[in-house]
Amino acid sequence: MKLYYSPGACSLSPHIALHEAGLAFTPVLASTKSHKLQDGTDFHTINPLGYVPVLELDDGTRLREGPAIVQYIADQVPLKMLAPVNGSLQRYRLQEWLTFIGTEIHKGFSPLFNPATPEEYKTMARTKLLERLQWVDSQLAEKQYIMGDQFTVADGYLFTVTSWAKLTHVDISGLANLAAYRKRVGARPAVQAAMKAEGLLK
């Protein structure tokens, strides 16, 4: 398998999932600025939409969109319990979380990375993000991970997107449960390995 990624982008989530799963894969750097691979290949030939992540399977099939990719990864190694069993209510809870993280938090950060976004809109975006993250903080009370005591692929995704708070001046310093959670997830060997591979840790 190949994972097309950009350092610190949302592709860190499947990068973490692959390390947690212990699956063999080749990471391929795809610049989100130039849309080129290191060998000069136009990334649009891999993903016409031009963004990461993309997971290329051994038969050449390509999967786009982080929430779909991480569930595929989890289902390759069911004994690792990175996702509940398909068809179970808990699996739908996982999908509920992946959807929430993707639409309410991930996309909430997007305008803050765009230099063309007016400051007034950025202020509104930060306020809305903080409201969403305050709710997440409340959900993490007395929980190790999003789904309870078991780490799942949703945790890798939440860890990834909340890592952007400092860069975008979203002040999450008052969210004690989220801070403890981020420290817990960040200490996992697979998370450390993925971050080191992307040059995010020394």
Neighbours of 85 (CB within 10 A): 10
Give the separation between CA 8 and CA 53, rounded to whole angstroms: 11
Of the pLDDT bands very low, low, confident and very high (cuts 50, 70, 90), residue 196 is very high
What pLDDT does residue 185 have?
98
- Please determine, for residue 30, whether its predicted confidence score (pLDDT) is greater than 90: yes
Does residue 87 contact residue 94 with C-beta atoms inside 8 Å?
no
Q: What is the set of domains in the chain, with CATH numbers?
A: 2-81+190-197 (3.40.30.10), 89-187 (1.20.1050.10)
pLDDT of 95 higher than 90 = yes
* Residue 202 pLDDT greater than 80, yes or no: no
What is the model's pTM? Answer: 0.97
Where does the chain have alpha helices with state H?
Answer: 12-21, 66-76, 89-100, 107-113, 119-139, 153-162, 176-186, 189-197
Quick one: average pLDDT of 106-122?
97
Question: How high is the pLDDT of residue 32?
Answer: 83
Proportion of the chain above pLDDT 90, given as a percent = 95
Q: Is the pLDDT of residue 79 over 90?
A: yes
Give mean pLDDT, residues 99-117. Answer: 97
Task: Supply the pLDDT for residue 176.
Answer: 98
Residue 33: predicted pLDDT? 84
Range 89-95 average pLDDT? 98
Does 9 score more than 90 pLDDT? yes
pLDDT exceeds cutoff 90 at 100: yes
What are the tens digits of pLDDT across the range 154-181? 999 999 999 999 999 999 999 999 999 9
Are the CB atoms for 158 and 94 separated by under 8 Å? no
Q: What is the pLDDT of residue 63?
A: 98
